[in-house]
Structure 1
């Protein structure tokens, strides 16, 4: 009925009740009775079950209104740890986090994804074990591993699908291979999606509709709608790097088409144009260094790249109506040149209603976005209501 106030559904099981605690706010048994509508005995039993799993812990006492002060309970994110790994074309970043995706230890190193899955995944496993020890934890405390790869990924199977810059990786069972080294659940996604999760979780957790755009060697986007990451039917949502730029020259792209955004505005494409003009530049990082040093030609090239990106994003803004666009990746470190070009075209070409309150900003999380997002991808699965219920049932059967 129109005008009827709607209330969110109340949690009905221990796993659903645990979701209330994931905001980090301590709660009392009496408060949970009011919040859930369940009996005190039911609440007490469910708290005991969650404490026995190590997910809840006593958190002091509340102020008494007469009689014995009520005890508080809170989510204990330190109970276990998670591995978050972000692999790029030429680098790797690894982190150990707690169950709230807070980084406890991290490391990064040069790594060529073109070396192939066997040496790369063996290195990931070995480095992960060392990093867990550096964090002061044991390998048996790791409850899951999240991994981002620089190419298309079938998220449901954890397998790369025809990744252009990853020879030898197509349809490789990445979770299965890593599981032989580290016997924990392994989740795999593309690098832009995990960066999107990391940025959303740490910087814009209340933003319901957001686009995250990574601009580096390649270009891709992550889509958050209604507060959730949207991967699409086959996990290919957000692959804006291979959308044709309106009115652009037919520049060949590594995907086999011409005029793609990545072929015009990606880091290697910009560097190639600068070399043609007599300026030494081999990578996206070189382009950024030139811009920061005040090179006029490099600044102009990055601004034009921003315009090309804006031309593609303008359609996405009209289609999806995000409240915020966050730009990350190496080229986002080139200052205002890239953002200014993007804003210029989006505000010019998108519907006024769609841009009325749109904010376009650079990433706040920076290089940590990927590893935090990879860890959050794992915790969202292992701490989901159904997963917690399964753990309780398993412990009950064992006892």
Structure 2
């Protein structure tokens, strides 16, 4: 940031919102601005509804200073975590409190127009349930099970989302609601949710989601790493068996997703005489004690663990989170077996391998945080004040 950036009203709000400053004196100290300049910018932030005055801070002599707080009642955030077969939607306040949520079956393969029209109706219903209206919405977060070009909010060549390639989700919903729309891959949203909720001080976190497909989200240095065009973390399409005839949704053979995803395991279990139509039905068979399902889950974990041994050696994360349907099964045992067997001891010495505490809520929680980070960034706040 330039010095101008670091002394703008938007930056002052960022300092307060992130807990780096809570009084006028602390803002002066951190920015080097004059008291009168800080006062003018704080007045503008209060007038726009971004900032409020809380209680009083500790006194070092004289009148105790008034504490400054980000106004988490400035509006609400809408979220839609869209999977291959289910969607979790929510309404949150700016502090992250859930005001209304739903978990509903969904077919992402129905295409963008039908799915997003349904999302719009569901979000309106949840908004009414929470007691709010569209003018109080400050932003929307959407995640999908495929690669996303983050800057434009456009889906790019998604293997399990027929008809979505090139569809501008952000522009479509933005026109409907008249607010900024953040769109990202579902594993990225979950990774950011885990990072913000459980490991905010973790320098590097990798989350692997194994459900209908397989994908990963990487948080490096506190920021999501998406790659040059949103393709980072696409583990499911790494070829792991050149001799396999198992065909992946991407059209190739021998991909990790073709052998170890929930959809692939459901097909294999069905072929073994135990019918399973989806990843979730496969997990239900595991929970019911099916030895065939348990063996397949462990074998899938070993395949994923072998790929993750390379990831761990390359990225050297502090936390590896296993999430998705299969994280509730012997899949986790299989991952641990091969990961620690194949990765260098140096790469796993300080590694924590855990399952998600947030479960299938990680995505909406991550989306909520993404929207707040975007809508209340210093640059966005400064633009809003200028307007």
Where on the TM-score scale, by shorter chain, does this alignment land: which range?
over 0.9
Unmatched segments (≥5 aa) in structure 1: 1-8, 395-399
Partner of 1:296: 291
1:320 aligns with 2:315: yes
Q: Given that residues 21 and 27 in structure 2 are in contact (C-alpha distance below 8 angstroms), is that contact kept between their aligned partners in structure 1? A: no
1:153 aligns with 2:117: no
C-alpha displacement at 1:69, in angstroms?
A: 2.5
Name the TM-score, length of structure 2 as normaliser.
0.94
Deviations 1:334-356 (A, max 9, x none): 2xx12111111111111211111
1:222 aligns with 2:217: yes
The CA distance in 2 between the partners of 1:65 and 1:254, in whole Å, is 65
Partner of 2:196: 201
Give the root-mean-square deviation of aligned CA atoms.
2.0
Q: How does 1:92-241 map to 2 (within 5 A)?
A: 92-241=87-236
Unmatched segments (≥5 aa) in structure 2: none
Partner of 1:308: 303
Q: Which moved more, 1:360-369 or 1:106-115?
A: 106-115
2:73 aligned residue (78, 96, 107):
78
Partner of 1:351: 344
Partner of 2:378: 385
1:251 aligns with 2:246: yes
The CA distance in 1 between the partners of 2:218 and 2:138, in whole Å, is 27
C-alpha displacement at 1:249, in angstroms?
A: 3.1
Give the paired residue count. Answer: 385
Name the TM-score, length of structure 1 as normaliser.
0.91
C-alpha displacement at 1:375, in angstroms?
A: 2.0
Specify whether residues 181 and 392 from structure 1 end up closer, same or farther in structure 2 by C-alpha distance, changes over 3 A only: closer
Partner of 1:22: 17
C-alpha displacement at 1:38, in angstroms?
A: 2.5
Partner of 1:4: none
C-alpha displacement at 1:10, in angstroms?
A: 10
1:41 aligns with 2:67: no
Q: Given that residues 205 and 321 in structure 2 are in contact (C-alpha distance below 8 angstroms), is that contact kept between their aligned partners in structure 1? A: yes
1:287 aligns with 2:282: yes
Q: Given that residues 26 and 59 in structure 1 are in contact (C-alpha distance below 8 angstroms), is that contact kept between their aligned partners in structure 2? A: no
C-alpha displacement at 1:248, in angstroms?
A: 6.6
Specify whether residues 292 and 142 from structure 1 end up closer, same or farther in structure 2 by C-alpha distance, changes over 3 A only: same
Q: Which moved more, 1:324-333 or 1:273-282?
A: 273-282
The CA distance in 1 between the partners of 2:174 and 2:385, in whole Å, is 24
C-alpha displacement at 1:362, in angstroms?
A: 0.4
C-alpha displacement at 1:65, in angstroms?
A: 4.0
2:63 aligned residue (68, 73, 84):
68
Specify whether residues 115 and 246 from structure 1 end up closer, same or farther in structure 2 by C-alpha distance, changes over 3 A only: closer
Q: Which moved more, 1:224-233 or 1:158-167?
A: 158-167
DSSP-derived class of the 1:316 partner: helix
The CA distance in 1 between the partners of 2:58 and 2:149, in whole Å, is 51
Q: Given that residues 242 and 253 in structure 2 are in contact (C-alpha distance below 8 angstroms), is that contact kept between their aligned partners in structure 1? A: no
Deviations 1:306-339 (A, max 9, x none): 10000111111111111111011111122xx121
The CA distance in 1 between the partners of 2:183 and 2:155, in whole Å, is 9
Deviations 1:251-296 (A, max 9, x none): 2212121111101111121122222222232221122122222222
Partner of 2:364: 371
